[in-house]
């Protein structure tokens, strides 16, 4: 029998009514003859609430204990959903990540899946159960409970789909699919029917949180077909598939697939850094030793033997990097560093830009027409990103979206 993996996000299981609606959908799939494995997120804002509670108690909670706490959110959702499915006369059993055989490395809060041992899940399916797995969590190679980073239930779902050879991995969320921009920021954004793994990966990494970027990486590596759709309707959503599959159906890649916004980073600037070989290596080795992920890097031209060097990092890693920076500026002989948290990154993504010159120029012009200053620029083969003031970011996204002809009709206001 074909296996379908379905993942339901926090809004989709936010209260008892929503959980009952999800149970109805699961039972329908089961009645249509599918084996169903469900991956579930914590209800509503549970994860944020638990994080705040921990921070109220200690500003820097022990990562191991924080993971133990946060995984409780998914555990509540999975058991309530199993109760709801059982109440419909359809057998269901829920499993924690650890019980489901999800083995991760030991990096608390950001663990990577290293292996899936789906024996228990297969046996439960064979026994006729709908299997419900807690998202976002696993068991480390040291036998500790870990979490997979914010949005990690998407990755649990794709990894389970890959391990079980599922026909499809359906990601049910609170929007109708992947749009040309966050529909909450750009009301005229359009839903995309199909998008390649590469483009989706760039969009996700650039801040389109509809899918965790690791889940897209995992899907690309294992060839899992992902269908992102709304848990509130039965409409088809967005298929995330390989480029070859697009070619098969005769689709041509769009010039631009979308615009993304990331407001989770901060910019660090080291001022008047001595301009000599080895300085950049010293700085970034020290930052990497703290396991802080550096995104963009910009070094200015040298004046009188010194230069300013800026880079961006996740804002919540600023406290961790600051102690390193204190030490580094002394070591390399720079007078000071500054941290700017009022930045945002706006990115334009599209496979077609590889063969179309002038895309970057058009993007910069769209920003300049709005009087928006660009502070940093970085590119990949299919992405251009600009750092701007946080307060300008949403206006920047809308201007770029319009400039590249992505606007559709605005949905009519409800009510
Ligand atoms: P879930 O709880 O279901 O995992 P998330 O909040 O993680 O949902 O992701 C869905 C949200 O992602 C949407 O509500 C939307 O605001 C946001 N989003 C950002 N960029 C996009 C995009 N390009 N297309 C669709 N949604 C997007
Ligand atoms: N509950 C976790 C989070 O809020 C994981 C997820 O929803 O995917 O990040
Ligand atoms: Mg999510």
Closest-lying ligand 1 atom to the alpha carbon of residue 11:
2
Structural domain range at position 34: 3-174
Would you say the CB of residue 259 lies under 6 angstroms from ligand 1?
no
* Residues 6 or more apart whose Cβ sits within 8 Å of residue 364: 374, 386
Structural domain total, the chain: 1
Cα angle 154, 204, 60 (rounded to 5 degrees) comes to 70
Task: With respect to residue 13, please indicate whether it lies within any of the assigned structural domains.
Answer: yes
E-state strands within 49-184: 92-95, 102-104, 113-116, 130-134, 137-140, 145-147, 168-173
113-116 vs 102-104, strand pairing mode: antiparallel
The first and second tokens of residue 204, run together, are 């996700």
DSSP state of 303: B
Closest CA to 307 of 267, 275, 268, 269: 275
Task: With respect to residue 298, please indicate whether it lies within any of the assigned structural domains.
Answer: no
- For residue 31, the tally of other CB atoms under 10 A from its CB is 9
Would you say the CB of residue 336 lies under 6 angstroms from ligand 1?
no
* 310 SS3 class: strand
pLDDT tens, position by position, 324-339: 999 999 999 999 999 9
- What pLDDT shows up at residue 415? 41
225: phi then psi, degrees, rounded to nearest 5: -85, 125
DSSP state of 398: H
CB 81 within 8 Å of CB 41:
no
Residue 209 CA, ligand 1 centroid: distance in Å: 5
Closest-lying ligand 2 atom to the alpha carbon of residue 152:
8
Burial class (CB in 10 A: 0-12, 13-18, 19+), 320: middle
* d(C-alpha 361, C-alpha 178), whole Å: 26
- What pLDDT shows up at residue 246? 53
Closest-lying ligand 1 atom to the alpha carbon of residue 177:
25
E-state strands within 174-264: 194-196, 226-230, 238-241, 258-262
CB 191 within 8 Å of CB 182:
no
Ligand closest to Cα of 212 equals: 3
Sheet containing strand 194-196, strands side by side = 92-95, 130-134, 35-40, 3-8, 168-173, 226-230, 238-241, 194-196
Task: With respect to residue 203, please indicate whether it lies within any of the assigned structural domains.
Answer: no
* 302 SS3 class: coil
- If you compute the radius of gyration of the chain from its CA atoms, what whole number of angstroms results? 23
* d(C-alpha 220, C-alpha 241), whole Å: 8
The CATH code of the domain that includes 109 is: 3.40.1160.10
Residue 378 CA, ligand 2 centroid: distance in Å: 29
Which residues are 95's β-sheet partners?
A: 133
Would you say the CB of residue 152 lies under 6 angstroms from ligand 1?
no
CB 97 within 8 Å of CB 139:
yes
The first and second tokens of residue 36, run together, are 């169903």
Residue 282 CA, ligand 3 centroid: distance in Å: 36
Cα angle 108, 136, 210 (rounded to 5 degrees) comes to 120
Task: With respect to residue 368, please indicate whether it lies within any of the assigned structural domains.
Answer: no
**Residue with structure tokens 């709304």?**
230
Task: With respect to residue 206, please indicate whether it lies within any of the assigned structural domains.
Answer: no
* 54 SS3 class: helix
Task: With respect to residue 235, please indicate whether it lies within any of the assigned structural domains.
Answer: no
Low-confidence ranges of the chain (pLDDT < 50): 247-250, 415
* d(C-alpha 89, C-alpha 104), whole Å: 35
Task: With respect to residue 381, please indicate whether it lies within any of the assigned structural domains.
Answer: no
Would you say the CB of residue 182 lies under 6 angstroms from ligand 1?
yes
pLDDT tens, position by position, 71-103: 999 999 999 999 999 999 999 999 999 999 999
* d(C-alpha 43, C-alpha 394), whole Å: 28
* d(C-alpha 260, C-alpha 269), whole Å: 24
Helical residues (DSSP H) of 223-316, grouped into ranges: 243-248, 279-289
Would you say the CB of residue 44 lies under 6 angstroms from ligand 1?
no
* d(C-alpha 168, C-alpha 249), whole Å: 18
* d(C-alpha 338, C-alpha 267), whole Å: 8
Residue 199 CA, ligand 2 centroid: distance in Å: 23
Q: Which residue has a Cα nearest atom 22 of ligand 1?
A: 182
Q: Which residue has a Cα nearest atom 9 of ligand 2?
A: 150
Task: With respect to residue 233, please indicate whether it lies within any of the assigned structural domains.
Answer: no
CB 161 within 8 Å of CB 17:
no
Ligand 2 site, CB within 6 A = 9-10, 41-42, 47, 73, 135-136, 150-154
Residue 8 parent element (H or E): strand 3-8
Ligand closest to Cα of 187 equals: 1
* d(C-alpha 336, C-alpha 76), whole Å: 48
- For residue 149, the tally of other CB atoms under 10 A from its CB is 16
Residue 380 CA, ligand 1 centroid: distance in Å: 23
* 123 SS3 class: helix
DSSP state of 41: P
Which of 182, 203, 257, 344 gets mutated to test ligand 1 (max ligand atoms within 8 A of its CB)? 182
Q: What is the pTM of this model?
A: 0.94
* d(C-alpha 130, C-alpha 53), whole Å: 33
Closest-lying ligand 2 atom to the alpha carbon of residue 156:
8
């Amino acid at each position: 029998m074909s296996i379908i993996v379905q993942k339901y996000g926090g809004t989709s299981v936010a209260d008892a009514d929503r959980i009952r609606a999800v149970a109805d959908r699961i039972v329908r799939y089961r009645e249509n003859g599918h084996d169903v494995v469900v991956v579930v997120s914590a209800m509503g804002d549970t994860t944020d609430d638990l994080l705040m509670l921990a921070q109220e108690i200690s500003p820097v909670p022990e990562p191991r204990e924080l993971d133990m706490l946060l995984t409780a959110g998914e555990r509540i959702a999975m058991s309530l959903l199993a109760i709801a499915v059982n109440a419909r006369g359809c057998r269901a059993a829920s499993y924690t990540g650890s019980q489901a055989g999800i083995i991760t490395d030991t990096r608390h809060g950001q663990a990577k899946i290293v292996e899936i041992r789906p024996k228990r899940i297969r046996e439960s399916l064979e026994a006729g159960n709908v299997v419900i797995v807690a998202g976002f969590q696993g068991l480390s190679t040291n036998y500790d409970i870990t979490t997979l980073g914010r949005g990690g239930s998407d990755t649990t779902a794709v990894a389970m789909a890959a391990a079980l050879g599922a026909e499809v991995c359906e990601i049910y969320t609170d929007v109708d699919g992947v749009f040309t921009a966050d529909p909450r920021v750009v009301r005229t954004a359009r839903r995309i029917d199909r998008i390649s793994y590469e483009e989706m990966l760039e969009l996700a990494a650039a801040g389109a949180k509809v899918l965790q970027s690791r889940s897209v990486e995992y899907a690309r590596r294992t060839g899992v077909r992902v269908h992102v759709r709304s848990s509130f309707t039965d409409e088809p959503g967005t298929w995330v598939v390989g480029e070859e599959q697009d070619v098969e159906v005769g689709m041509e890649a769009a010039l631009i697939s979308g615009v993304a916004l990331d407001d989770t980073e901060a910019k660090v600037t080291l001022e008047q850094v001595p301009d000599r070989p080895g300085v950049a290596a010293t700085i970034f080795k020290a930052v990497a030793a703290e396991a802080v992920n550096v995104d963009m890097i910009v070094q200015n031209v040298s004046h009188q033997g010194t230069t300013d060097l800026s880079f961006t990092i996740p804002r919540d890693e600023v406290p961790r990097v600051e102690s390193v920076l204190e030490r580094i500026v002394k070591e390399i002989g720079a007078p000071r560093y500054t941290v700017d948290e009022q930045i945002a990154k706006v990115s334009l993504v599209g496979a077609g830009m590889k063969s179309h010159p002038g895309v970057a120029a058009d993007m910069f012009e769209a920003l300049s027409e709005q009087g928006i200053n660009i502070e940093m620029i970085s590119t990949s083969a299919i992405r251009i990103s600009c750092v701007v003031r946080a307060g300008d970011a949403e206006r920047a996204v809308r201007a770029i979206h319009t400039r590249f002809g992505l606007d559709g009709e605005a949905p009519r206001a409800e009510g």
